[in-house]
Structures are given as C-alpha cells and as structure tokens.
Amino acid sequence: MTSLDATHDPAARSWVESANEAGCDFPIQNLPFGAFSGEGGQGRIGVAIGNCVLDVPAAIETESITFGPEVACALSAETLNDFMSLGPAAWKRVRAALFAMLHEDAPRQDRLLRPMAETSMRLPAAIGDYTDFYAARHHATNVGRMFRPDGEPLMPNWLHLPVGYHGRASSIVVSGTDIVRPYGQLRPDEGPPVFGPCQLLDYELEFGAFVGIGNGMGTRVGIGEASEHLFGVVILNDWSARDVQKWEYQPLGPFNAKNFASTISPWVVTMEALTPFRAHGPERAAGDPPLLDYLTPAPGSRDSLDVQAEVTVSSKAMRRAGTPPMQLSRGTLADLSWSFAQMLAHHTSTGCPMHAGDLLGSGTVSGPEKSSRGCLLELTWRGTEPIELPDGTQRRFLQDGDELTINAWCESDRAARIGFGSCSGVILPPQDS
Ligand code: MN
C-alpha cells in the first residue's frame, strides 16, 4: 500500500524557481513523466518541473542521477512502457531520486532542463490497447434518458459491473494535435441513412489510467491489488460523433463514433504523486444492489481520486479577438461510481491479459449539477439548450475552428497542489479523401 513520504512534503521546494510558484501544475511534489522529441526526432523521457522539462536520459548519462542497469535502461527508452512495467517499488525509488536531485538543497543542474514551451511532447507510451468505460452514474443516466426516452435510463447491468467497450489505441493522440471532423453514416430524422461529415461533434471530459504491471493471459488482477498495477493518470478527451453513435450503437456498442480520435494530456501524473488525493469510495447509493466479491474494495481502501477538472472552449473568432476561453463545465473524478481499480479487476476477470502502457478511460465525468456535465450532449441536452459564446455565436455541438481544452488539478489543505497540465485540440474541417 502506498503511503506518504518526504516527496509529498508540502513545504518542499526546488532549485527550479518556477516550480515553487503558487498555482504551478508541476511543483516538486508532482514529478509527472512524459516523452518529448529529442534533436534527432527520437523520443526521450522527461519529467515536468515548474515550466521546464528535465531530460531524464541526459541526467543518467551525466551521472547526475544513478540507477541500476534495469531502471537506467528503461528510462533511456523512447516511451515509458518499460519503466511502467517495473512496478511500484522501482517507481517509488525513481521518484525519491528525482525529488532529491531537484530539491532546493541539491546543486543546480540547469543544463539538464529545457523550457517546456519549446519542447514538443509526444504520446507518453506506446498504447497497445485502449478500453473506455462508462463509470459516471449521472452521465450514464443522462445519456440513457436522451437515447432511450421510453425505457429505464440506467441499464440493469450498470449497477453490477463497470460497463465498457474496447476502443481503438491507434487513434489516441497527444494534446495539441488537430482533430479533423470525421465522416460517417448518419440517419436523418426522416428518410434513409446518408454518408457525410459528422454534424454533432462532441468532446467527453474523461481521465485515463495507464496500466503499469500487466497480467498473464488466464490470470486475474484482484480488486485488492488492482491500484498497485496502475502507473498513473492523464486527462482524456474522448471526441465523439453523436450522430454516428446514435445510429450505430445498438446492439454492439460504440464503433466509428469513437474511433477517429481521442486526445490525452502529455504528462502522466503517477499514482505515487496522487497518494495524498486518494479517497474512500467510490460510494454506492442507498438501495443499490450489493457488489460481487471480485468488485468489492477491501474495507478502508482508498480507490477514489480527488481530482478537479475544468473544460473551456474558444472559437476561432474568440482567439483572433484575444477573448479568453469560456468555461463550459467543471468536473471531479470523485463523481465516478466505479474506480480504476474496479475497472481493472473487472477487465481481467476473464483472464484478459493487460500490458504496460494499456489505457483505461473512465468514461465521461459528469456530476449531479448542470455545471458538472462532461460533454455538450448533456450540457445542451442534445442541442435543445444551446450555449452562448462571447463571440455572439451559439454552440449545440463543436464547430470547425473550435479549440477545446481540459485542465485538471488536485488541491487539499494537507498537500501541495499538483496539476495535470492541459489536454487540448482544435477542430479542423472535414477533408475529402
Ligand atoms: Mn467515452
């Protein structure tokens, strides 16, 4: 079980001055991992500190930090997969060493830093498999109401298992990648289906958890150990073509509506950094059926994460006029009814093998209030309640040129604030091909 140590000390400061500024996403207590493009275009592992990126292989090469051969080799790879596979003891050791090296009492090593603003980030891991869940009760209920107005909004299985579908790892892109409006088969209210550009393009506020330690085929990850298998968390925007989804999703679930792009933030905030923000839960509502044993968290386990998020939009006209982005909603990961640990335990309950770098999406994070609905489908209630933008236009769904950004952070009285950075993308017009 992870516990707090010196790396979580809220009073700790770094010789990287920008890391000590109030509101900074990347203080010394965070130390998230990512991958950036080196001079030759190859991937290099970095750690975010203040407004800089620490070049980890350079720190190893110059012996500014020393590890055994296995860890040194994993941290000199192009992606985080090998490091993710080493497990919590190695993650903790590396975090402690990075903390000591970046601490204000240690000698400055500015030559190992590069300005974050001038660093090109890439996907942190080679994502072998991606699964998206549906873990927020308010989202599942709202969508059920809209898509199946005549039935029970929540399907009977939803209260018994974390519902999910196998997504498309090949379409996951890193923040800053433009998103081309997809084509798809759409069925208008009247007449036969047509093929054309998606008209109801949406985002989904989600988080993604990276699997660290996998499991062999035919073995299960137990609920009690599932959190220890997870390496860390990123922001995830699961771009969604609602008109495609509405027509295709029955009987086998989402397909093309979800396979053209999903964006993740570049910095993986480790479970270790999130330790002060782990919370009891998730809570079951009164009257919910009891969970089966394989999904029941051990008493006192802290599998919920207290993470806050904000979604903003800015149109092309707003950006041209210098108008700041407009807030669409706020959300909290604590609103999930199923934890990442439960998702992993359920996913592997059949013996499905998971590997380091596999990604589990939470599903849209929506809370009880209108201001905490995590997508436009819910915010505008399928377009019936459009949103006014500061440029005088209205949004039911996303328009070409819109930039959608999700920021996320953790705050508490007892710990230093840590952030996830941002997850952003601009919608480009459909392309003929
Ligand atoms: Mn989703």
Give pLDDT tens digits for 298-339.
888 899 999 999 999 999 999 999 999 999 999 999 999 999
pTM of the model: 0.98
**375 CA to centre of ligand 1 in angstroms:** 10
Count CB atoms within 10 A of the CB of residue 286: 5
Distance between CA atoms of residues 407 and 237, nearest Å: 11
- The contacts of residue 164 (CB under 8 Å, 6+ apart) are 131, 132, 133, 134, 343, 346, 347, 363
Distance between Cα 254 and ligand 1 center (Å): 9
Position 57 pLDDT exceeds 80: yes
Cα 362 to ligand 1 centre (Å)? 7
pLDDT at 2: 67
Distance 189 CA to ligand 1 centre (A): 24
Residue range 130-428 in CATH 3.90.850.10? yes
Ligand 1 center to 273 CA (angstroms): 25
Q: What is the mean pLDDT of residues 399-428?
A: 98
Domain ranges in the chain? 6-122, 130-428
Could you tell me the distance, in angstroms and rounded to a whole number, from the CA of residue 350 to the centre of ligand 1?
23
Is 103 one of the catalytic residues? no
**The pair of three-digit structure tokens given for residue 416, joined into one six-digit string:** 């230093």
- In tens, the pLDDT along 409-423 reads 999 999 999 999 999
Instruction: Give pLDDT, residue 268.
Output: 99
41 has pLDDT over 60: yes
pLDDT at 343 over 90: yes
User: What is the per-residue pLDDT for 281?
Assistant: 79
Asked whether the bond before 57 is cis by omega within 30 degrees of 0, the reply is no
Average pLDDT, the chain: 96
pLDDT at 1 over 60: no
The 3-state DSSP class for residue 144 equals helix
Mean pLDDT of 351-375: 97
Would the pLDDT of 182 be above 80?
Answer: yes
Question: What does the pLDDT average to over 113-117?
Answer: 98
CB 205 within 8 A of CB 234: no
Ligand 1 mean position, distance from CA 10 (Å) = 34
Q: How many CB atoms neighbour CB 292 within 10 A?
A: 12
Contact 35, 121 (CB under 8 A): yes
361 alpha carbon – ligand 1 mean position (Å): 7
**Residue 433 in this model has a pLDDT that exceeds 80:** no
Tens digit of pLDDT for each residue in 248-293? 998 999 999 999 999 999 999 999 999 999 998 788 889 999 999 9
pLDDT of residue 148: 86
Return the pLDDT at 383: 94
**What percentage of the chain reaches a pLDDT higher than 90?**
94
Residue 243 — very low, low, confident or very high, per pLDDT cuts 50/70/90? Answer: very high
pLDDT tens readout for residues 158-180: 999 999 999 999 999 999 999 99
**What type of residue sits at position 54?**
L
- In sequence order, what are the residues at sequence separation of 6 or more whose Cβ sits closer than 8 angstroms to the Cβ of residue 223? 294, 295, 296, 297, 298, 341, 342, 345
Cβ-count burial of 325 within 10 angstroms (0-12 exposed, 13-18 middle, 19+ buried)? buried
For the chain, percent of residues with pLDDT exceeding 70: 100
CATH of 6-122, one of 2.40.10.10, 1.25.40.10, 3.90.1300.10, 2.30.30.230: 2.30.30.230
CA of 262 to the centre of ligand 1 (A): 9
Catalytic residue, candidates 8, 103, 138, 139 = 139
